[in-house]
Amino acid sequence: MTNQKHFCTCTETTCQLNPCNHDLGCDPCIRKNLNKGEIPGCFFHLIDDDTSQLHDFTIEGFVKFYMDTKKP
């Protein structure tokens, strides 16, 4: 990684939008996600649950995953 100063928790470091690969911070990732109606990976890390089987990264998918896994 070349840009460790960023807090990004996304583990997809091969993604060219990951802040470890450029100096533009979150902007490219958020721009891409907004354009696709998706949620950045770091939001999923707020939920303490296994996300390895997750394939729906849409905003609606995130809300459903959050509500389904939210601990009372």
Binding positions for ligand SF4, rule: CB under 6 A = 8, 10, 19, 26, 29-30, 40-42
Evaluate whether 66 touches 59 at the Cβ level (below 8 Å): no
Residue with tokens 């997809």: 12
Residue 65 C-beta: closest distance to ligand SF4, Å: 16
Residue 70 C-beta: closest distance to ligand SF4, Å: 20
Token digits of residue 20: 């470890």
d(CA 62, CA 46): 11
Residue 42 C-beta: closest distance to ligand SF4, Å: 3
Q: Which is nearer to ligand SF4, 26 or 59 (CB)?
A: 26
Q: Which is nearer to ligand SF4, 5 or 72 (CB)?
A: 5
19 CB neighbour count, 10 Å cutoff: 23
